[in-house]
Structure 1
């Protein structure tokens, strides 16, 4: 390995990918990486980290071995790594099946000039080293004080000189003197807090005694789990007890030979993962009945045991830190209890019901409904009750809204409050508002995050091909960490009053939904989090201006899934039954109806407020660099198609619109005048055929074009296979085949018309079963949608998205 200062010092940016407070030494240089992370720290996923490295064009990667191992499962990510100037790792050993291929590909710091010695390192001559020989030719490393170094920790003596015993066991290179690799630690015995080492002998096939042993050591394991990273936590059911027929082997120093032990117990490890779906948390007794109170009590126990923290029944478990592996354990524990106590066909239960009902109360209501003799379907409540609940929500959030008392004319140039600017559409909206001469100031409201809002915004804009520095430093934008559902938007009184008395337009771009929640079937009460924003935003309306601030809400055409197929859907309010597909679509209807009622009520009261709903259709990537959010359904469809080796084909049109064009049209609608309440559909006025956009993708990715029902069946089959996998394997499968998370969503499209059918029934359906929409009113108020301003989409637009996905390693 070359010296750090020979290759890297002062030459390049580096991607600091190590956990905080890690120190690694490289020959004569010590590189200390420290981050001021929040507590508890959020452990970033390997894929997220690599995407960040790609986006920032990092030349050098610092990481822990587990990240390299995760990246190298995807060939296109390996290809990108080979183009960097080097990879440093530390904190643990790297598997040879990962390191050897990287070395063969010539990844710097994975190869030595004389052969495949990437796993070995040499110690700087400036280090004071003392090796304690062990009987197996290994040696224990001790660092001594010398003229060049004084170890920060001094815990032993060597020849009367203070020194630091690292407890590291090093193995020498078989032929090259001075090269070493880490073989283990001398302090690897597990010890309870009482100072006792666990010693117990029993028949490991005796399930009762095995459970008792696990329970006996569990308090100590929980103490370890309390401070290790979340991904390293131990689950009780994943503890394997050694067999007398396979005793652990040790070095003469007493150090377990880890590689040999893991190899010896490989069959037991594989068997445990193979059966984990059936045995997950089996020690938890099922509820006495599946009535709602008992179901809530049981689900609460499952969730809190897996997450080891207090979770309120209405909390979104994913927003509280639940990861994919924990979600798998929760789901399987519930299914296990259902199989034990009911006749419910667990294989017919949607594989992502935990994502569809992401709270204790939501999960309990769902499973209670599954087994209810009064409700043979899996709907939690019947349609009439759901519609009634939606109307109740509208009434609840329409109460006690303030009345407007004008004092002065609205200024000629607009002051716009926009939410959600760190998302795809939000970034495009911010860029367009900065360039709009009719706008003098923009308040960019976003949730507080680990980075400063300005830094997050700069990164998002740069990733999508915008001139980030120009936009952020334009002088127009005020970045505000806000809580749109909190009192006074989470602001101090002086800041709140400054916003309230200057804002002329409010643009609420709701970005609260997660990838897994594309269509979550949740109880109506779960809509409250989104809807709480409206009363707070509307309370800005006691404004001094006449007319008062105009409020535009970005909704979704997803709420029109059950609209009539006989004619294109008009730009007007719809009945609640049209939105009865999911909690997500129902919440959109409630939000739209709330704004309609508010606009009408205030107009009748003589305090007019113009509210605008924009139902957004499918948007494509940025016209700048093709940046298309990989958490959306179309990128997931394309990536899963590369996994299934086929791409769905439709004999239908697609009225998709580029995100930049959608942003410009939204701002046209924000500035428009009209009645107290208006609804616009934001899709492309001149759709193109599906094959125009996707035939080139199929050719470029060497995929077979098949009918949608054939593609969907292939996805169903892969979903069945993934259900039989161990949790960690299932998580990896979801990364390779992300449409697995959306199987029910694509099923809904199939039922809604994507499957094809007779000409009469399909006259008002587009590709993917989406309804055709009238855009007559939108075209009237948005000049940017005119034929002169907005060309039709072409294959160039979708292929630009493919190139972007390849550039970030999402596609091969």
Structure 2
């Protein structure tokens, strides 16, 4: 009787042939002895354990690879436990046994998951090899790799490792026929032969799989380095061949013995649609390597052709395009981005049409220019406020174009034709639009970007009621878009403000503000502008929870935006331009904590100001200038902000976490600090516009 590990088939068969009665046994610390102890008769097969009848054991069907015998898992109920205990052994039933006879194939945690996500249970390979009289143990490996390998420990010392590999190769091939195709071993290079006693064992004598991997990590790494660059003998196909696609097809068909599917293998058909598995992908890559490396003028090395090459180029047309571009010394098709862009272009499901509010302000104008210049966006629809008392005879479209031009953002005729401008009162039901126009938006818009907002820090939250109505109508539009076109899940993006979280550190301590909804109103600045933005965030959080299957809700908390790094445009009505203008008036700049020193040095040089004074003194000097000079002293109109909030917001006390945003936005991830050149550009713009004295 034995337990704790498998009895080698060759040993068991030899003992049985000699008339020794064999009894397979098993147990678990948590339960006790699980196998029955009895005198085995001729009806008993020693390869199976006959589990006890007096234990409450359940045998349930488990996930089983296609074409293989049904696997089972065993669940026990240890005395005194309140929960089930699932043993980690993979079992198969003895169809000729008593119903409680099972063979242990191995532990479920022996499962190997390849880089493709395909799973391998290696027991068939390991058991067939271990059954050989010249092999003491075999351990498969391949976790997070593209193919399987195996470590073989001979029974006796072997001098000719290559010869030994050739001797055992038929057994490896036989095992492969009984396993999934992706679990087969493709080459003798994937076999490691080690001296007897190399593989670590437990006290029971069974192989310790993970410890074996650790001990032989260098050898395993060497296997995959060699496999990476291995090739198979075959023709070299030239990238300049006039029959390149057909040549590639013939090579692939012959490599995989795909004669039966060759008629279906169109040049643009995905290999994996025809059933290609990971091992076949590796075989095709090896067959193609000579052509990929030497078939073009680029003469690339094999290590530049990744093992995922076929996954990146899953059609004959893709491979041909790769070879032609490589021959032209063009790295385009090597780029992951190029591959992604090509897929997006080929499979984009509908036109992208953006509805934008607040399109004439500083941020809004830049949004119009950016969106309209994106090739995947076919139209930008701008909703602008009706101006009942406007003296200009210009149309809403002309005013939009003028707003763009004033900020140095001119559009070409072709790009400007993508912009549509609609005058309306968005706080009115249906956004103030006629029914047919609203329905037209429902049938065309894919993204809504709500940017419009009155910038007035003296208003109370109740005075923003019109903004709440506008948001409600935009939500209604988004839901109606999905209602008209169920395949479209529109995005509704709300431009919020850093003001909704500016007090986060004072509430929770000096922490970075997380990218999540704010639950505490005390985190929001205590004035109407900030509180109204907070209300809108909360409304959208509720909408996301209730209607998340209909629309995608996003919120962006925008802090103080600098001017354009290209044109230098910076709206002179904002607080930082006001600080610069008033500093020029009083002949002194404020000393600001944090990392402002470099910026202040540049401003001082540009404005020819040699005096820097404490912020409190600067505020006092600004306050002392008579009101009649308000045009020359704009910071005086913002004294409450400079006294109460400026230093808190501007000196590092409010820092927003942007990890998730940066992972989604390459532009944000690549942002750099404001440079000296950019600061000089802002000053030049303010001078050219007459805001600053020259």
Q: TM-score, normalised by structure 1?
A: 0.40
Q: TM-score, normalised by structure 2?
A: 0.46
Task: Return the structure number with greater relative CO, CA threshold 8 A, min gap 6.
Answer: 1
